[in-house]
């Protein structure tokens, strides 16, 4: 792919911090058309990368309220339900984190200085989270820019926490984005990462981003897949999301 094309697409501020691999994938889907490439990126990323999110200004609570995927969450209740009865936590790896790193104080309140890594594609958001962790005195919290389609790298990353078990992976409202860019990739992704972690917590939206439309689709394609390969320890709904805590079956 022409590097000049990728550079041209990334001239838009909201896409400038995305990895070239993501921009290249959009350009390939758009057959090299700059306008259409940006439209695709805006569809999957732009709705989340508002000016407030990119600038990262304000308190942690204010920033969480500016991001479409986190604005409705009551994090004290959200994490309370997820971790109730879940046992020990060695490290939380938050894949496709968005601005979720700004919710670290809620994890800290529950577990103390727990190890936390936010993996996010948008470089500006990664920089903002790392600045926040440093300024707030959270030495065990970090953010990393990475393309989730680089599955081998993600697996290696999880493997690097082999000595920090149990490893809890967050996949909050990530499945649709993966699936829209490559059919059935989300299934492959979940299976691969499940070999390098002890539990996965994933969420699926049950209403539109604006909250005006409830989804009637039951997402049978993903729930059937999860039931076949995983033990579902928790399955609940909260504030426009369905949250599932899953553990890979030992005997498939």
Q: Give the model confidence (pLDDT) of 186-243 as tens digits.
A: 999 999 999 999 999 999 888 654 445 554 446 788 889 999 999 999 999 888 889 9
pLDDT score at 180: 77
Q: Name the one residue in this structure whose structure tokens are 């440093």.
A: 134
Which structure tokens are listed for 31?
Answer: 């057959």
Residues 10 and 117 in one domain: no
pLDDT at 56: 59
Measure the CA–CA gap between 71 and 50, rounded to whole angstroms.
13
**Same domain? 38 vs 128:** no
Task: Report yes or no on 32 lying in a domain.
Answer: yes
pLDDT at 181: 79
* Same domain assignment for residues 136 and 200: yes
> Looking at residue 211, what is its pLDDT?
46
Residue 65 inside a domain? The answer is: no
Q: What is the pLDDT of residue 210?
A: 47
Question: Does 64 map to a domain?
Answer: no
Report the candidate in 82, 52, 78, 80 with the shortest Cα–Cα distance to residue 65.
Answer: 52
Report how many domains make up the chain. Answer: 2
Domain of residue 16 covers 3-46
> Which residues, other chains included, contact 141 with Cβ-Cβ below 8 Å and sequence gap of 6+?
101, 104, 115, 116, 117, 118, 133
Same structural domain, 130 and 223: yes
**Token reading at 64:** 């969480």
Q: Which of 189, 91, 101, 109 is nearest to 144 (CA)?
A: 101
What's the pTM? 0.86
Q: What is the pLDDT of residue 198?
A: 95
Rounded distance between C-alpha atoms, residue 48 and residue 45, angstroms? 6
Same domain, 80 and 134: yes
176 in the same domain as 100: yes
> Are 117 and 38 found together in one domain?
no
pLDDT for position 69:
62
132 and 238 part of one domain:
yes
Token pair, residue 83, equals 């971790």
Comparing CA positions, the residue from 165, 171, 218 lying closest to residue 192 is: 171
Are residues 88 and 33 part of one domain? no
Vertex 189: Cα angle to 78 and 181 (nearest 5):
95
19: phi then psi, degrees, rounded to nearest 5: -60, 145
132 and 7 belong to one structural domain: no
14 and 45 in contact (C-beta within 8 Å)? yes
State the DSSP H helix or E strand holding residue 80, giving kind and residue range, or none if neither.
helix 75-83
Q: Which residues of the chain have pLDDT under 70?
A: 1, 44-58, 66-70, 207-218, 251-252
Token pair listed for 209: 């981003």
Q: Say what the alpha-carbon torsion angle 239, 52, 49, 209 is, to the nearest 10 degrees.
A: 30
Asked if residue 30 and residue 118 are part of one domain, the reply reads no
């Amino acid at each position: 792919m022409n590097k000049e094309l990728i550079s041209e697409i990334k001239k838009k501020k909201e896409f400038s911090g995305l990895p070239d691999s993501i921009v290249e994938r959009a350009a390939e889907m758009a057959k090299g058309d700059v306008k259409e490439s940006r439209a695709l990126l805006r569809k999957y990323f732009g709705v989340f990368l508002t000016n407030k999110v990119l600038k990262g200004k304000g308190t942690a609570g204010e920033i969480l309220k500016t991001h479409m995927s986190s604005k409705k969450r009551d994090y004290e209740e959200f994490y309370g339900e997820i971790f109730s009865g879940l046992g020990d936590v060695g490290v939380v790896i938050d894949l496709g984190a968005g601005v979720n790193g700004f919710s670290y104080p809620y994890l800290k309140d529950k577990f103390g200085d727990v190890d936390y890594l936010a993996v996010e594609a948008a470089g500006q958001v990664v920089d903002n989270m790392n600045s926040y962790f440093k300024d707030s005195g959270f030495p065990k919290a970090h953010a990393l820019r990475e393309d989730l389609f680089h599955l081998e790298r993600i697996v290696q990353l999880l493997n690097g926490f082999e000595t920090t078990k149990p490893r809890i992976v967050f996949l909050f409202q990530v499945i649709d984005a993966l699936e829209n860019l490559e059919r059935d990739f989300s299934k492959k992704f979940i299976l691969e990462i499940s070999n390098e972690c002890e539990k996965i917590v994933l969420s699926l939206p049950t209403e539109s981003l604006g909250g005006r439309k409830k989804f009637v689709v039951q997402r049978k394609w993903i729930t059937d897949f999860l039931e076949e390969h995983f033990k579902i320890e928790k399955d609940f709904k909260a504030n426009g999301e369905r949250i599932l805590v899953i553990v890979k079956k030992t005997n498939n």
